[in-house]
Amino acid sequence: MRPALNPFLPPQVEQILSEFRLKKEQLKEVMKRMMREMDRGLRVETHQESSVKMLPTYVYSTPEGSEVGDFLALDLGGTNFRVMLVKVGEDEERVWKVETKHQMYSIPEDAMTGTAEMLFDYIAECISDFLDRHHIKHRKLPLGFTFSFPVRHEDIDKGILLNWTKGFKASGAEGNNVVGLLRDAIKRRGDFEMDVVAMVNDTVATMISCYYEDRSCEVGMIVGTGCNACYMEEMRTVELVEGEEGRMCVNTEWGAFGANGELEEFRLEYDRVVDETSLNPGQQLYEKLISGKYMGELVRLVLLKLVNEELLFNGEASDLLKTRGSFETRYVSQIESNTVCVSDCLLCETVKLRSVSLGSLVICNIQMMQVISSENVMDFILTLMLISLHSFQDRFHKVVRELTPHCDITFIQSEEGSGRGAALISAVACKMAACILTQ
Ligand code: BGC
């Protein structure tokens, strides 16, 4: 990694970049504040006010046995919607076999920001198209829904959308049961039937998908368009759900951290502009410092400042640089990987490094939570499933090792887990509910 201080940069540029470099003490302070919110999120009396919601998922530990057969999996969370046909089975060694066929549909802007009915009608239309393509419209398949937004679950197949994130805004969905919205849309079409058995967050689906390959995996983390993590927590600590025995997966929704002002002295002028011009000002403040949805815009704003102060490009801003939202996050990675690194490249690297450092804190805190609940302070080993947009893994590891040296983590990267996990959970849910598969 390049040195933090670059003697060849003009001091004004160096000054701007240095604002993004968080010191170890600052990281520890953020970590401490987040830990407090995570703890408050788990407790009945403070849950409502906490900024990190720690939502129960009704996905329990060590699912034993499941139905085998075909499952349909849906994946909604970014600008694309995916439908998958997943075959779940076991061989003599009781190893899971999963085969998939899938189809990607891009979600039109008006479905993302129109009404919930429009969005879910579009989803139902995509499912119908998929069933036609694979000649399976006559089959009433069990369906698992990966829905990558904050949901307050009442059961594995029932949950209220708390708020949209990542540029979604369809009205009439917040405060409503998402599975109900899906079932209604399928009913409105009337050309196929589905048995919706489970709805899970993408972090949960990812963790479960990994779990079937490595039984020690108990954290799922996503750093992509949005960011979030889930982990297995002791039931007695999850106060919002009755029961003391066993463990349940908790969806942290750490992207919302900061809503109680915990990040005020760490947010820079650019972060504030990104937030104010977003579709959800005041919400998902931590996510806006870290995730791919906002990083391009963040870099654009800093570049614009450098140009306006005549520190870059001879003071001439291109149209791309002047247009809000035009600077995509993939450019950040492209510029950062330049072999000859000048101001713009150093800036991309610095912004990304801040994102990695802040994202890593979550893992440190999850480890701490688990260490505390399991009363096992020494040699804690965590296997973690990570989906990340831009090769965060090594840097993540480095920061986590620095901040929590007593913990040992294994990272497993996955680009595929999200939908598969939903199907696997559905297979388990089917077994539990003894649902009849009409296959
Ligand atoms: C959502 C989470 C999701 C994450 C990653 C966030 O914006 O609130 O539910 O897991 O994005 O997709």
Q: Give the relative orientation of helices 292-308 and 269-276 as an angle to the nearest 10 degrees.
A: 120
Please give the backbone phi and psi of residue 100, each rounded to the nearest 5 degrees, phi first: -135, 150
Give the model confidence (pLDDT) of 368-418 as tens digits.
887 766 654 333 345 555 555 445 677 778 888 888 887 777 878 776 667
- At residue 6, the pLDDT reads 60
Q: Which of 70, 75, 157, 202 is catalytic?
A: 202
User: Any idea what DSSP says for residue 321?
Assistant: H
Those residues with Cβ within 8 angstroms of residue 428's Cβ, 6 or more apart along the chain or in another chain = 63, 65, 66
Tell me how crowded residue 187 is: count the other CB atoms within 10 A of its CB: 10
Active site residue 24: no
Is 230 touching ligand 1 by the criterion CB < 6 Å?
no
Q: Is 203 in the pocket of ligand 1 (CB under 6 A)?
A: yes
pTM (predicted TM-score): 0.92
Q: Which among 281, 230, 227, 286 is positioned nearest to 30, based on CA atoms?
A: 286
pLDDT for 75 beyond 90:
yes
Instruction: Between 214 and 3, name the one with better pLDDT.
Output: 214
Tell me how far apart the terminal alpha carbons of the chain are, to the nearest angstrom.
Answer: 54
28 is catalytic: no
Cα distances (Å, whole numbers) of residue 281 to 30, 160, 184, 273: 21, 21, 31, 10
Whose C-alpha lies nearest to ligand 1, atom 3?
148
Q: How confident is the model at residue 111 (pLDDT cuts 50, 70, 90)?
A: very high
Q: What is the 3-state secondary structure (H, E, C) of 269-291?
A: HHHHHHHHCCCCCCCCHHHHHHC
Strand order in the sheet with 141-147: 96-106, 80-90, 69-76, 141-147, 194-200
- The alpha carbon torsion through 146, 55, 207, 159 (nearest 10 deg) reads -20
**Residues sharing a CB contact under 8 Å with residue 95, sequence separation 6 or more, in sequence order:** none
Share of the chain above pLDDT 90, in %: 57
Name the closest-CA residue to atom 12, ligand 1. 226
Domains of the chain: 11-50+215-412 (3.40.367.20), 58-206+416-431 (3.30.420.40)
Q: What angle do CA 358, 248, 159 make, to 5 degrees?
A: 85
* Residue 300, pLDDT score: 95
Taking only the tens place, the pLDDT of each residue in 403-414 is: 888 777 787 877
Highest average pLDDT, of 42-51, 220-229, 358-367, comes from: 42-51
Q: Which atom of ligand 1 is nearest to the CA of 202?
A: 10
Q: pLDDT band at residue 2, thresholds of 50, 70 and 90?
A: very low
At 144 the pLDDT is 92
Give Cα separations from 197 to 73, 96, 138, 183, 265 (angstroms): 10, 20, 18, 11, 44
pLDDT at 16 over 90: yes
Lowest mean pLDDT among 26-30, 216-220, 373-377: 373-377
Tokens at 119, concatenated: 């969005």
Asked if residue 367 has its Cβ within 6 Å of ligand 1, the reply is no
